[in-house]
Every structure is written in C-alpha cells, then in structure tokens.
Structure 1
C-alpha cells in the first residue's frame, strides 16, 4: 500500500501534522499509532491521569537505567501509547516556555524558530477561553481553559509566595513568565482536550486520511539515501509495509523517534554495530542531547482537610463523581497542579530558572493513590538543566525497550539550582498564610537544616522524580551532533523529517505539551512549503 505522507506517532505533534496535511483532498495521509484508539473513558476526564499513567494498555511504562545523579535509583518515565500520545495522559498544563528559549534556538542557527516566528503558531493552535489578544488565539482547535476548581491550600501558597516577595502573574504565557499564579489547562467544558480530540476528532471522516492504530513502526525503508516508506507490526503481530510517495515524518517522541532511526541504521555507526544493526548513514547525535525536567516533590502535612481527605471514602468519591456528571465541575476536572510559580534562584539570572507545581493533594506518584493524611505537595524543577543524557539501543529487536540514561544532576549548576529551589520552597512554606495551615514538614522533614546544601542535595537525589518532559534526542541544528536541520529534515537523507520534542536543541522553560503542538504546526507549514 502506498500513500503520500506517512506520519509515525499520533501524539501531540503527529495529530497536528495529520490534520494540516490532509486538509488538501488530493493528498493521501496515513497516520500510524503504536497504541489503541483513545476509547478509555479515563483519558477524557481531566483527573484520569491517576488511572492511565502506569497502565500498560495506554502507557509505554518506560523506566530509566539506574542513574548516578539520583544515587543509583531508576525512575518511571510514562509516555502515551494511544491516540493523542502523551497529551492523552499528561497533567493538562498549558505552558509555552519563555520567548528567550526560542530566540536561543534561532541564535543556534535554526532560522525560523525565534519567538516572533513561533508565537503566531501558538496563537493559531489555541482557542483560549479568555479571548484573543497579542499573545493568545481564540479560533484554534486546542481548547485552553481556566481552572474549574479552587482549593484554599493552593490560594494560601500563592498568597504566601507574594508575602515572600514574589509577584503575582495572571498570565505566565503572556508578556512575561515570572511570578506566581494559576495554571491554564488543555480542557474544554471540563473534558480533556488532547491532540487527538483537538486535531483528529473533527476530521475523522476525511477520505484521504487513514488512521491505523496498534501499528508499531519497526524501521523506515530506504532506497540509497532516500526514505521510501516504513515497516510496522500490526495488531496481529504481522509485519506490514507502507510506501510514502513524498515523505515520512517521525513524531514518536524523544524515546521512540531516535529508537526508530537507530533501528533503521541511522545513528552512531559503532553503537549500531554493537547492537547488531548495519549502519546505513552516520548520524552520531541520534539519541544524544537528552534533557528532562527533574522535580523535587516536597510534601507538607496540614492541620485542615485537603483533597487527600475528600477522596478517601466511597461516599465522598460518589459525591465528587456526581458533581462531575451533573456540572463538569469539582475535583475530577483537576489538572496535575493548580498553582504555579516561575521564579529566579539568583538575582543575576535573566529569566526564571525554576518552576513550581502546587497540588492540593499528596502521593508517592500519580497512579499510586493519595497519602492517608491531610497534606499538599509543592514540587520544584529546574527549567534549563545543563545535564545531558542519552537514549541507547538494547539490541536489534524493536520490541526491546531502549536504555534511558538521563544523567540527572551531573553538573554543578544543576545541583546548585535544584538545591536552591528546595530551599525557596521551604522558605515560602514558612510565610503566612500558608504557615498557619502546615502541621508538619513531612518530606523533607524539619530536621533537615535549611543551610545544609550538601544534605539538601542528597535529599533531592534520593527523592526527586521526572516531571515527564524528555526532549532533545534528535537535535535540530547544523553542528556535528545535530540530527535534523531547521526545516526538520534528517541530515543526509531525503524524504524524512522528525517533528516532536526530540528536535529541541535545548529544553524549553516549562511544560512541553504546548511546544510539541507548536512543533507540529511548524512542521506542517514546512512540508507544505517544500511541496
């Protein structure tokens, strides 16, 4: 079977590309997704990530290798394996990053990727319930909404942060990012607005768009240096091939896209040979330049009820479910966090270098259930880590997961920034009105001295986890380790692009779903221009 464009991966970027390219009825587009359709009802309920993360029917359930920066711990890396990709599992937080992030991409030689270039793409994608202005759109497919739930503990955090000297910011995606406030979400009328809901559902009846689920791509097919199609394993486990008359676009994400390239013989020749794969084209940067946001999750016990208490009994769970069913309101509309802050750890940094996610509940991890006591969580992550990891193959079998080496906290700056972020979190907790609601510093305990940086760093190494933002493994640029050029074309071959967070030369200063959708919009424009 042949088609014009094959898109590999129906995640945040892939859904966008499929929508935009199939708008021309003369063009045939095939979208391949390794996971199932997005029929699991928990996908569409905002708080459903408690049920979908770590669920192998819709989550790849990756795990890192033991990491020296985490004192030898291996940690979970959930990634969406379903229509919508990780936008069907994520915490729904709509964050673009800082204008300086994209201007740095441009300064690194990536023409067309500066803030002035990408802001129109963010606006084109967005349907913000606050309306259109210089920074926001209100006519795009991706619904962006205000919170439909408030909790006193999060309001107290925002107030305490202001008491501690941090300004209130009503729109961190607006004129400036710095300050504290509340998240906006990718929701519509209390329902998740994943990339599949936003970009695929309205166009499912296009005759020229073929969406194939349970189709795990094993490699791209090549004729010399030209990519001609892909090979994939279907639902029955049978190997199928599909030809691409024009292009193949990899949108598998920061783990799957480099894995597919390497399985296809595109990568570091020595590494490919070690894994029993014949090198086809040398691209030493494939799988390298891996970046992620590491979060230290601080938990504080409270002297008043929090969401932990609200969900503990079956009766209260029934009341919550009824409120959602009747009004699309209440705790089931909740994203991964309510309040946020983008702050500076030092006066000499130009823009915020840490981000807070504040939650009116506490748990060891999403999907693990809440703690059996009243508490809230204040997580802090470094926005622009220097540490670089890599994705490596573990043999030639596409069914074998690659090895993930994040190399967290492997530079002095990263260690100092996260340590200072934890200290800032603890200082905010000691300001009113938040301090009056805290019964105990639970994690870390008050026994950890505030001025002991070495002990604070060791605590962070022992307790920090990923905030699930892997990026950078198919880096955009023109240096020796770059994988794609500024038009997202894979260096040295024709007919192949990558469009997902793996192309980021540097991770953005915030959550990665909105930038992934922007990358999909940009890729579609580039493909159409070149066609």
Structure 2
C-alpha cells in the first residue's frame, strides 16, 4: 500500500505530551510534522456532534461530566483486581485533542526533587531534578511571577485556586493543627506542607496542552493534525521504523517518517501499539500471532498508579459546602456568575487544597498526598456508575493516596487488532508496604478531622474507617480507586528497560516513546505537569539528534 502522507516526524497521540511535541518540533519551520489523534477536536465549533462535551472540556467544573463521557473519553476497564475488593475499575483517558489534559482535574503538581534524582540513579541519566527543572520552567507561565523555580512567558498558564471556600480553608487549617506546615509553594521540589492547589487554568477556563501548545501551532503550514485517526501499527523496514498505518473515516492510510516515529499515546496505548507492531515479550506476541521485530520483556510491565481512598464526612447546619451550589436556584446563580466574571463554582477544579505528609517520622520525604475539597460525592451513584455527582447533603472530603506505591501492574495487548482495548491489570495494594500505607493514611485523616479548626463544621463523624488495622484495610480496599495516573509501562533507564535515557526504543532505529509511560518510577503527585516536562525535554532531544545528523 502506498503512503499518502510524508513527514519528518510522525507523532502518535495528541495528548499532554503529543501537543507539546507537535508545537516544539514544528516551531522552527524546518521540519514537517504530522500529528495523529484517534479522538476528535476539542473546540466546540469544530465538532458540532459533541458540542456539549467540548463545552464541558473548557469549563473547569465540567470534569465531573467528561469523566464518564465516551465522546471524549476512552473509558478503559481493568481486569478484576483482587487487591481492591475483587472489583473492576474504570480508567478515564482523554480521547480528544489535549488527551487527558482536556478532561483531568487541572491540578499542577511537579513532584519531589528526589523523584527525578531517583530516575537518574535508575539509569535515566540526564533526568535529575537540576536537569529537569529548566523544562518545568520553560513550559510554564506562572501567574505569581518568575523566580528560581518557576517560569514566566511559557505556553502553560499556572494560576492560584480562584476562591478559598471556608470549609476547604478549615481543612487546611486543621492540617496545620495536626502538624503539617503551611507551604504556599508545593512545586519547588520540597513538597512537605499544605496549601491550596495551583491549576492549569487561565481566566477561569481550562488551559489544556491543546489550548496552551497545539492551537497556536496548528496555524503553521509545516504541521498537519489529523483527528479521528486511529494508529493501527508502526511500519518497519527491517529494524527501522519508517512510518505508521492508521484508519480514518473507514479508510486505511499510511504516513511515512523521514526522521522518526514518536509514540505519545500514553501509558495505556503506547505499550499496546509497540506490542501489536512486534516489540515486546516474544511469547505474548507469538500467542497473538504477531511477528516479533524485537524482544523487549519490560514493555507493558512496571505499571504504577496512585490509589486514592475516598474519605468524606458531613457538615452540620448552618454550614454548607459546594454541594448546595450545584442544585436549583443556587446553580443558576453560579452559572450567571461564571458567564459574567468566570468566577464561582464553575471555575473550580476537582480538588481545592493539597497536603504532602510523612506518615512516619523516620521518612526523609512525604509519602502521602491528601486531596482536600469542600464537597462530598454521592457514593451510591459513584459505585453504580463510577462517575462523579455531588451529594445532596453538605459534606467535605479528604482523600489520601500513597505517593510512591510499591505495587506493580501491567498493560498488554489482548489482540493483534488495534481496535481491541488492552488488558489492564492494576494489582492495587498487592505489596505489603502499600497495604500498611493505606492504614496509616486513614489514621492520618482521622487525626486531621479531630482538630479544633474542623469541630464547628462537622457532624459527629463516628468511626467510618473501622477500629482495627484489619478493618481499616478492608475499608481502603472497597473505598479506593484510580487517581488516573498510570505510568511506567514503557520505561526509560538502564539496560533492563525498553527505552534509553533519550527515550529511544532499544533494539530498533527511528522510534521513540515520549509520554507518561517512560517514567521508571511514578512521580510524587499528579502526573500531568511531569508529562508536559518530559515532552519539553524530549523535543529538545529529538531536535539535538536532528542537528547532529545534519552536521555529520
């Protein structure tokens, strides 16, 4: 089959990483770039058939709707997971320009400096904190202004939380009373403390990777963005990647890459695409009838995710949370407020405050993150639909997760057919350390709820988590789930891993993976900002190799 598109660089996936790569690789005008996205456009007027879905994308509180919307969300489902009560879990992932940055909680969190120093020690040379910090700064327009840790003038707008709800402020104060220091900047590499989140938002609207990077770049004549384009395999000549095959509107098409093919399809799709193209565990590939191009045992392995435990309690009169703003006349008022000033409920992100905490004194770095919000969820609806809907009764939530879980899962192709979703095995709480951690987390939440700052607000919370460690572990198994942070399935590092530190696929030529799957170990916190940093650094690596090739 003849190719109908040609480029220097072919990028698969227009998510958080792919948008950055497309913008940076096309920036000079010297390189022809083709970006393939299996989903649609994120702009409402560009996709009339999903107008409402796309309006929800750009409205911050719309997260609750897009979380379960198949028009913009892959809605993957895991295998039955024994470690979390024998349940299957829905895994939302963006299926639209901007990928998961178009449907996530907009929380800007970098992680700890030790995370990146740890990557370097695992063989990912060049990825220490001092070496990645310039790329965090390059990506960022920090509304607070530029300093040693934050950039100004970058594409991605980072702002403070728009309003401090008094209930959320009381939880933050209770954290301080529980011994967690107040820290205004949680993104300077030293996380320990509590504060309100910063957001990837601008003027009350979501600032996704598509809005920040891709929309301006799409005006360039050397960048072609193809939506509704599902990549089905990487094309090889021997062991050199030369292009990809994709389906679009019922037709099979090919695009050839003169320099490189770059997978930015995310931690779920990138390993699957490698496997169905012949790179992975040879036993698995042969079982699926796939010809082996290169044996890579760790493709699809090393999967890590943050497992968050739902912890909520209820308020006594006359105190209200944002639950009451989401209904009736109050909601109409909030809609009007947002329409006029981009303020109020509709400008809120999914969580309000954040605490990074050590659960044991002997730890050098925080091991737990708590997501704080003046809201509580309708648990019956959540259990039935795995979607978010605010409770009718006023409440608050303090949802913890272990920052660096030891449990490892996997993601592998189930079929040679690219249209078949992969097999996702999360293995939550399979490691004994993780099971002890969830017990420690619940004890910490109980301590915070007992502080004086919250006593005027709370109904008697009782003992919702159980009295014994065994009871608390049982609660965590049925009350927790994904924080949407799957990483690590095509990791970079030393020779054990599929990728070298430049994110080139070992054993073949002309192929890289640049997305959240490259993390050898999960970052301490929400993963969107680190993924954008990875793409910024990755783009520099790709361009450096191009300059070296020209010079040679």
Same fold (TM over 0.5): yes
TM-score, scaled relative to structure 1? 0.97
Q: 2:526 aligns with which of 511, 514, 517?
A: 511
CA contact (8 A) 2:125 2:493 kept: no
| Aligned counterparts of 2:272 and 2:206: Cα–Cα separation in 1 | 29
Matched, 1:260 2:273: yes
1:520 counterpart residue number: 535
CA contact (8 A) 2:85 2:478 kept: yes
1:8 counterpart residue number: 12
2:212 counterpart residue number: 198
2:78 counterpart residue number: 64
Question: Following TM superposition, by how much is the alpha carbon of 1:361 offset from its aligned partner in structure 2, in angstroms?
Answer: 1.2
Q: Deviation digits for residues 412-450 of structure 1, max 9, x if unmatched?
A: 111111210111011100111112211143xxx516444
1:367-516 aligned within 5 A? 367-441=387-461, 446=463, 448-450=465-467, 452-480=468-496, 482-516=497-531
2:61 counterpart residue number: 47
| Aligned counterparts of 2:368 and 2:388: Cα–Cα separation in 1 | 26
CA contact (8 A) 1:149 1:331 kept: no
TM-score, scaled relative to structure 2? 0.94
* SS of alignment partner, residue 379 of structure 1: strand
Q: 1:320 aligns with which of 318, 321, 334?
A: 334
1:88-487 aligned within 5 A? 88-174=102-188, 176-234=190-248, 236-303=249-316, 304-313=319-328, 315-363=329-377, 364=379, 365=382, 367-441=387-461, 446=463, 448-450=465-467, 452-480=468-496, 482-487=497-502
Question: Following TM superposition, by how much is the alpha carbon of 1:320 offset from its aligned partner in structure 2, in angstroms?
Answer: 0.5
* SS of alignment partner, residue 111 of structure 1: coil
Q: Deviation digits for residues 333-391 of structure 1, max 9, x if unmatched?
A: 11111111000010111100000001111114484311121111110000000000000
CA contact (8 A) 2:303 2:410 kept: yes
| Aligned counterparts of 1:187 and 1:217: Cα–Cα separation in 2 | 30
Question: Following TM superposition, by how much is the alpha carbon of 1:26 offset from its aligned partner in structure 2, in angstroms?
Answer: 2.4
| Aligned counterparts of 1:192 and 1:53: Cα–Cα separation in 2 | 15
Structure 1 stretches of at least 4 aligned residues deviating more than 6 Å after TM superposition = none
* SS of alignment partner, residue 433 of structure 1: helix
Gaps (5+ residues) in structure 2?
44-53, 547-552
* SS of alignment partner, residue 337 of structure 1: coil
* SS of alignment partner, residue 145 of structure 1: strand
Question: Relative to structure 2, which stretch is displaced further, 135-144 or 23-32?
Answer: 23-32
Question: Following TM superposition, by how much is the alpha carbon of 1:237 offset from its aligned partner in structure 2, in angstroms?
Answer: 2.0
User: Taking structure 1 as reference, are residues 280 and 447 closer, same or farther at Cα in structure 2, changes over 3 Å only?
Assistant: closer
User: Taking structure 1 as reference, are residues 213 and 447 closer, same or farther at Cα in structure 2, changes over 3 Å only?
Assistant: closer
CA contact (8 A) 2:175 2:448 kept: yes
1:19 counterpart residue number: 23
1:76 counterpart residue number: 90
User: Taking structure 1 as reference, are residues 244 and 156 closer, same or farther at Cα in structure 2, changes over 3 Å only?
Assistant: same
* SS of alignment partner, residue 437 of structure 1: coil
Q: Deviation digits for residues 264-320 of structure 1, max 9, x if unmatched?
A: 01100001112221222101111000000000010101112111111121x211111
* SS of alignment partner, residue 256 of structure 1: helix
Question: Following TM superposition, by how much is the alpha carbon of 1:130 offset from its aligned partner in structure 2, in angstroms?
Answer: 0.3
* SS of alignment partner, residue 56 of structure 2: helix
| Aligned counterparts of 1:341 and 1:4: Cα–Cα separation in 2 | 44
C-alpha RMSD over aligned residues: 1.1
Gaps (5+ residues) in structure 1?
none
CA contact (8 A) 2:65 2:388 kept: no
Question: Following TM superposition, by how much is the alpha carbon of 1:465 offset from its aligned partner in structure 2, in angstroms?
Answer: 0.9
| Aligned counterparts of 1:276 and 1:369: Cα–Cα separation in 2 | 44
CA contact (8 A) 2:12 2:263 kept: yes
* SS of alignment partner, residue 310 of structure 2: strand
User: Taking structure 1 as reference, are residues 229 and 183 closer, same or farther at Cα in structure 2, changes over 3 Å only?
Assistant: same
How many pairs align? 524
1:29 counterpart residue number: 33
CA contact (8 A) 1:68 1:407 kept: yes
CA contact (8 A) 2:442 2:465 kept: no
User: Taking structure 1 as reference, are residues 428 and 399 closer, same or farther at Cα in structure 2, changes over 3 Å only?
Assistant: same
* SS of alignment partner, residue 247 of structure 1: strand
| Aligned counterparts of 2:41 and 2:83: Cα–Cα separation in 1 | 37
